Amino acid sequence: MLVNYFKIAIAVLKRRKFFTFISIFVISFTITILMVLAAFVDKVVSENYPDRNRSRLLYITTFEESGPGSMNSGALSFYYLERYVKSLKRPAKIFISSRHENTNTYVNNKKITVSYKYTDATYWEVLDHDFVEGKPFTAQQLANGERVAVISEDLKKEYFGNMPSVVGQYIEADDVRYRVSGVIRTVPSTNYLFSGDLFLPYTLSKIDLRSNKDYRGNFMGVLEAASSADVPAMKAEYEQMAARLPMSNKMYTNIYTHADNYLNAYLRTGNEKKSGMQIAFMTISIFVLLIMLLPAMNLVNINVTRIMERSSEIGVRKAFGASSKVLAGQFIIENLILTLLSGVISVVLSLIALQVINNAPLLNNLHLSLNFNVLLVTLLACLVFGLLSGVYPAWRMSRMHVVDALKAS
């Protein structure tokens, strides 16, 4: 039966080639947009370089104090992370790093914008960076205050050009020269928690990090458990520690800070009343709804027109005993076949679109691709699109009386 439906669908599509072209174009264009969006979301969610062992990690990124009519939130201070977080017993390892900041450097009168951050030596033990050459700075070098740095592969190319090896060479930023100890494969900017060009020991900071006794600053921390089974206990210990913290000011009555999994940390807004997860979900849902709803409404009108053109066929089949349910099911299947054909075309269009996006200077090291998850989203989009644009016309078809159908022909 499905083979017959497929043959009928192809025959119907050939009748009015213009309507068929419009339908396929609209569906393919819409699904292409959804595929590109799905590829981007998949990249953000599943990108696991350099934190490849996420199942054992908890991320501490924000700290909020609030009270009646007042609220103060932001990243964490070095003091808070060193004084309180590093006192935890459950984590096997804890590292501290600053959020990235930008500065400028010049090579041959060419300005280069450098994203830099301060880290400790444990940063390189917890995260699994791919070192193109050299190695990270050590705890001893950090304690000695040596002016050493790890740089990204992109910064190496921009600053040193085609030099085969730059370990031991010097790079200048903010009028300070740093000796390069290693070069890492660049972290994609979509993983903003760990992206950067220049990584420096925190002891080289121009600010006395321990002088700020506030809870808030410009740092984040990551806890690593000995195994994924220890993560719940590690999270509970952090929450217990946070619950015992004294308020920094009498105007505050509540403290909110969390040891999150990667996705929650990535989306956390720093405001306890505004869930980043909910905002992201609602934004994507509304965007997808608008993208799919408007084309679906246009296709409904086209499909209704197609039904009126097939009134004689409907009347004859009803006269020979075809039920409304069978006719409606046939039309929905025909519409799904149309959307699936459009989905195949959208895969080709998406490959072209992703190639253009990957080559465009939109985000550093942004490389989107089609994988099983994205293709699954495409299949679901085709099914939803086919049902959205096919159910109402099919219902109209099923309601058509035999006499009216024959008269309309």
What is the rounded CA–CA span in Å between residue 306 and residue 23? 11
Distance between CA atoms of residues 187 and 385, nearest Å: 36
Does residue 126 have a pLDDT over 90? yes
Residue 76, strand partner residues = 216, 219
Amino acid 94: pLDDT: 97
Q: Which pLDDT score is estimated for 31?
A: 83
pTM above 0.75, yes or no: yes
The token pair at 98 is 């600053």
Name every residue whose Cβ is closer than 8 Å to that of residue 287 and which is 6 or more positions away in sequence.
37
User: Which of the given ranges, 18-22, 81-85, 341-345, has the highest pLDDT on average?
Assistant: 81-85
The mean pLDDT value for 240-255 works out to 89
Of residues 398 and 266, more confidence is placed in 266
Instruction: Kindly report, residue by residue over 129-184, the tens digit of the pLDDT.
Output: 999 999 999 999 999 999 999 999 999 999 998 899 999 999 998 889 999 999 99
Distance CA 394, CA 63 (A): 55
Peptide linkage before 50 cis (omega within 30 of 0): yes
HSE, CB side, 13 Å, CA atoms: give it for residue 69.
2
Average pLDDT, integer, range 362-376: 76
Question: Rounded CA gap, 7 and 18, in Å?
Answer: 19
Cα–Cα distances in angstroms (integers) from residue 260 to residues 126, 232, 266, in the given order:
16, 11, 9
Q: How do residues 174-183 score in pLDDT, each as one tens digit?
A: 889 999 999 9
Q: Summarize pLDDT for 50-109 with one digit per residue, the tens.
A: 999 999 999 999 999 888 878 888 899 999 999 999 999 999 999 999 998 999 888 888
Domain ranges for the chain: 2-47+277-408, 62-259
Name the token pair of 219.
């740092």
* pLDDT value for 306: 65
Stretch (H or E) spanning 266:
helix 262-267
> Does residue 409 register a pLDDT over 60?
no
Question: Which phi-psi region, left, alpha or beta, contains residue 74 (left: φ > 0; alpha: ψ -120 to 50)?
Answer: left
Report the pLDDT value the prediction gives residue 370, as an integer from 0 to 100: 82
Question: How many whole angstroms separate alpha carbon 29 and alpha carbon 357?
Answer: 16
- Start-to-end C-alpha separation, the chain: 26
8-state DSSP, 203? G
Pick the residue with more confidence: 338 or 51? Answer: 51
- To 10 degrees, what angle do helices 311-319 and 324-359 make? 140
**Mean pLDDT confidence for 356-367:** 74
DSSP calls for 88-109 = -SS-SEEEEEEPPEEEEEEETT
pLDDT value of position 228: 94
pLDDT in tens, 273-300: 777 667 777 887 788 777 777 776 767 7
